[in-house]
Structure 1
Amino acid sequence: MVRVRFAPSPTGLLHIGNARMAVYNWLFARRHNGIFILRIEDTDIARSEKKHMVQLMDDLHWLGLAWQEGPDAGGQYGPYVQSERLQIYHDICQKFLKEGLAYRCYCTLEELEERRQIAKLTGKPPRYDNRCRNLTDKQIKAFETSGLNFVIRFKVPEELLVFEDLIRGVCQFDLSLFGDFVIMRSDGTPSFHFAVAVDDTMMKITHVIRGEDHLSNTPCHIVLFHALGQKPPQFAHLSLTMGADRTLLSKRHGAFSLSEYRKLGYLPEAILNYMMLLGWAPRDKKEKFRADDIVDTFEIGTMSKAPSVFDQQKLDWLSGQYLREAEIERLVDLAIPYLQAAGFISADEYAIDRTKLKLIVDAVRNNISCMSQIAQETNIFFRDVVVSEKHIEFLTSEITQSVLLSFYNELCKTHVLSSEIFKNILKAVQEETKVNGKGLYLPIRVALTGREHGLEMYNIALILGIDTCKKRIERFLLIRK
């Protein structure tokens, strides 16, 4: 059975590029009726925090991802948090020492740095020179007597390692260039390489799907799999996600994490859809689809080797498509916190006029790409309009005044509004003033909203109501009938 894992470190918010790796692991598991595992790699004690673990799990659930095994789901191969597996790493490390697969290294950080610099100056790879690999018993005893801290290094065989990556094809590495790497730090915590290989072995991972930045780590993991008596899993190294400037995605490109996109009010299905487009496309080239639409045709080997570019405009377009199709009641629920924060509606949800709010949200949904934009788009319905000096000058011109006065008089003749009645009112104003097109619509729009562009005029009038429309027009009438 296919078993894949997503293994983030809880050192901060879940990066959108890293979340993409979770998406493809989840999608691959669904494609092959396999198991998707969440594993928390928190052995970086100084930077890992439980609140980050809780947040990233919450963000992944919000995105729609579900795992069959993990910290909150349990499973027969747990624990699924590395800090709870330290004894396992310690026991296997001791086994490696006894079997001669690993050894204690007493080199200090200063010595290692000095050798790295010398290697660079002489044009050699800055690898560890394995000098502690063949220490005599006498040398080892001297180091232990001196009380020096030590790390444990794995003995890397000097050979050519070849493996086939599901995305990148045949890859080969000369292990003589690697040097013996650390598997256990001096503080008793495992290195990334060691913990990953041990966990993937014990959790029976069949496929490792991760970013191409880990490609150079793969040889270290493969030799550890061999030492553990395990056939290595199949590897698939995905291209990384870049910003529009072709540099690695970071905060300077805008929103950075799933949490930030949640706060901005993007719909999770839109984010999920867009992340599946980063480095892959369905056969029919459609850009808007749900995971269920493509799970039967998704093939990891068809993913692009080239870096994917995160396009905020494309995400906004796609998000807008989902907003247009979403259930209106759901959008109202999502809009309420933003409108409350803006002071537009009551903090008491029982005091909210949901009927009117539904009309407002439905009217503006075509103009927004995320729900946080709704306060800006709807403020004309909750606050008096502020009109610029330029617009005041425009509204006081002779032709504009004639349009406003005629429109005001027509409003006074009716007690109800509908789209049909509003159209008849505009038709009557046009016949009376002989003004049409932009000259007819713009004065009314500016007087009612303070803007030259925006929602359909009849929607604005219907939501504002006759009395509010009349009051806003009255402010700009120089001569009242």
Structure 2
Amino acid sequence: MAPSPTGSPHVGLVRTALYNWAFARHHGGTFVFRIEDTDAARNTQESYDALLDLFRWLGLDWDEGPEVGGAYAPYLQSERFDIYADVATRLLDAGHAYHCYCSSDELDQRNEKARSEGRTPGYDGHCRGLSDEQRAAFEAEGRKPVLRFRMPDRAITFTDLVRGDITFQAEHVPDYVLVRGNGHPLYTLVSPVDDALMDITHVLRGEDLLSSTPRQIALHAALAEIGVGGGRMPEFGHLPYVMGQGNKKLSKRDPEANALGYRDAGFLPEGLLNYVALLGWAIADDRDVFTVDEMVQAFEIGRVNPNPARFDLKKCEAINASHMRLLSAEEVATRMVPYLQAAELVADPPTEQQQAVLRAAVPLVHERIGKLTEAVDMLGFLLVEEPQFTRDPGDVEKLFDEDGRGVVKAAHDALASLDEWTTEAIDAALRQALVEELGLKPRHAFGPVRVAVTGSRVSPPLFESLELLGRERSLARLSSAQAG
């Protein structure tokens, strides 16, 4: 997995990383995490940190790479420029590459002419056979040459791990640039060189890089000829596009593409990985929910569907909710804590009293929440200090008319006389006072009470909530609600 630290990591990157990781784990291989940071103008430390943060949160542990090291360190390409410069010189000396002095304007003009004549545009080999005198003349003009790779004049066929046999005709893969005129190496050079030197056996990447593969295959053959790396040609697999709304390719600008945004929104890493795995692969035709361990056991790259996959946020949320149910209530409580801390509802670390509230309350909402962030709204009424307690204005407006305040008063009076403050006693008292004596249906009876004590129409079960909130706070909230 070799991402660039530019911008926010996106879910397409997560899918690529997951498939690489699962493939390596399934076959007992080595998962290599490499940072392609040669584009100094676009790279940021923030993006680099986000990549590592994302992989850690997802649990996609790497065997070689940043902070871990490995036999082929360093794993940041910006620290390997001397290696690339040496390989470029060797390719030039061996005749696999040559200096090209064509300007951008000249290239554009020749491409336009090719189009007008019905030929395939692309570099036409203009500088392939320059004499020493011609090169000297260009250099006298002050031209800074790029280094181009000399593609073989034949078709290139390879077996894609996802798509099967693919052939590129020579006229569609012209000579390409390895090193800019300022000496800066490009992806077209550094990626194959690192793959060769790091003994990479399999490369799983996005479909957008498919056109790079014949170039890299030719370069790998040249690298083997000049003794760079072990001479093994990697196997390539190109994963389908992930599509967003309107069947457009999901881009970094799409809100649902921000991978770390799912952590911020309260998704479980298990849930996100499960859903992302389904964007091109399935563990079985009739099964959508599975663990990462189950995926590792079952994952075969040949079963990946080459057709584009559509990202469906609602399905992602549903699968995340299913994984929430697979966790114990105790584990869910632990994972809620950072979100409750961010909302300033619990201390860091939580006090013993706050922990006790969570242990008692989380089992009540475990089956009701789909994301960890929902704990803030569902449990906040139990954890907030009384001066900061508020009620949803919309719910108050709907339920606290004159009749609603009368219901709240009756509830207060019924509960104030209780000898013991238990769920069973609260249940019996409220049903007697509101359902039997006032003749209200449960929905009309308990709705105003729920808003009065929890602040919202959506909360844990009412009677249990009242027991957890306690006699004093419950009666105080019922009293304050009567004032409207």
Q: Same fold by TM (over 0.5)?
A: yes
Name the SS of the counterpart of 1:35 in structure 2: coil
Q: 2:246 matched to 1:245?
A: yes
Q: Distance in 2 between matches of 1:387 and 1:371?
A: 20
Q: Distance in 2 between matches of 1:392 and 1:64?
A: 46
Q: 1:410 is matched by which residue type in structure 2?
A: A
Q: Distance in 2 between matches of 1:146 and 1:330?
A: 70
Cα 1:393/1:187, change in 2 over 3 Å = closer
The two structures, once aligned, show a CA RMSD in angstroms of 2.5
Name the SS of the counterpart of 2:246 in structure 1: coil
Paired residues of 1:402 and 1:433 also in contact (CA < 8 A):
no
Q: 2:409 matched to 1:408?
A: no
Q: 2:416 matched to 1:419?
A: no
Q: 1:353 is matched by which residue type in structure 2?
A: Q
Q: Match for residue 111 of structure 1?
A: 106
Q: Match for residue 437 of structure 1?
A: 442
Range with bigger deviation, 286-295 or 351-360: 351-360
Cα 1:142/1:18, change in 2 over 3 Å = same
Deviation at 1:415, TM superposition (A): 4.2
Q: Distance in 1 between matches of 2:35 and 2:475?
A: 61
Q: Match for residue 320 of structure 1?
A: 321
Q: Match for residue 142 of structure 1?
A: 137
Deviation at 1:224, TM superposition (A): 0.7
Match of 2:25 among 19, 24, 30: 30
Q: Distance in 2 between matches of 1:465 and 1:27?
A: 49
Q: 2:456 matched to 1:455?
A: no
Q: Match for residue 16 of structure 1?
A: 11
Q: Distance in 2 between matches of 1:29 and 1:451?
A: 48
Q: 2:68 matched to 1:73?
A: yes
Match of 1:189 among 180, 184, 192: 184
Cα offsets for 1:227-281 (capped at 9, x unmatched)? 1223422211110211132112235542433322222332222222222121111
Deviation at 1:167, TM superposition (A): 1.2
Name the SS of the counterpart of 1:80 in structure 2: coil
Q: Match for residue 283 of structure 2?
A: 282
Q: Match for residue 270 of structure 1?
A: 271
Cα 1:470/1:169, change in 2 over 3 Å = same
Q: 2:202 matched to 1:207?
A: yes
Name the SS of the counterpart of 2:28 in structure 1: coil
Q: Match for residue 57 of structure 1?
A: 52
Q: Distance in 2 between matches of 1:452 and 1:67?
A: 45
Paired residues of 2:321 and 2:369 also in contact (CA < 8 A):
yes
Paired residues of 1:265 and 1:334 also in contact (CA < 8 A):
no
Paired residues of 2:341 and 2:347 also in contact (CA < 8 A):
yes
Q: Distance in 1 between matches of 2:144 and 2:296?
A: 51
Q: Distance in 2 between matches of 1:476 and 1:93?
A: 77
Q: Distance in 1 between matches of 2:195 and 2:481?
A: 72
Unaligned runs of 5+ in 1: 1-5
Cα 1:11/1:405, change in 2 over 3 Å = closer
Deviation at 1:173, TM superposition (A): 0.8
Q: Distance in 1 between matches of 2:297 and 2:392?
A: 55
Cα 1:111/1:333, change in 2 over 3 Å = same
Deviation at 1:119, TM superposition (A): 3.3
Q: 1:445 is matched by which residue type in structure 2?
A: R
Paired residues of 1:332 and 1:357 also in contact (CA < 8 A):
yes
Cα 1:435/1:372, change in 2 over 3 Å = closer
Cα 1:182/1:288, change in 2 over 3 Å = same
Deviation at 1:384, TM superposition (A): 3.3
Deviation at 1:106, TM superposition (A): 0.8
Paired residues of 2:391 and 2:452 also in contact (CA < 8 A):
no
Q: 1:212 is matched by which residue type in structure 2?
A: E
**Count of residue pairs brought into register by the alignment:** 472
Cα offsets for 1:191-245 (capped at 9, x unmatched)? 2122111111111111111111111111101111111223422211110211132
Q: Distance in 2 between matches of 1:64 and 1:401?
A: 51
Deviation at 1:401, TM superposition (A): 5.6
Q: Distance in 1 between matches of 2:50 and 2:393?
A: 44
Name the SS of the counterpart of 1:162 in structure 2: strand
Deviation at 1:104, TM superposition (A): 0.3
Cα offsets for 1:143-184 (capped at 9, x unmatched)? 223331110101112212211112111111112222210111
Match of 1:132 among 119, 127, 143: 127
Q: Distance in 2 between matches of 1:41 and 1:252?
A: 21
Name the SS of the counterpart of 1:214 in structure 2: helix
TM-score by length of 1: 0.90
Q: 2:220 is matched by which residue type in structure 1?
A: F
Cα 1:55/1:385, change in 2 over 3 Å = closer
Paired residues of 2:391 and 2:456 also in contact (CA < 8 A):
no
Q: Distance in 1 between matches of 2:221 and 2:392?
A: 73
Name the SS of the counterpart of 1:103 in structure 2: strand
Cα 1:282/1:141, change in 2 over 3 Å = same
Deviation at 1:64, TM superposition (A): 0.7
Paired residues of 1:360 and 1:378 also in contact (CA < 8 A):
yes
Deviation at 1:457, TM superposition (A): 1.3
Name the SS of the counterpart of 1:38 in structure 2: coil
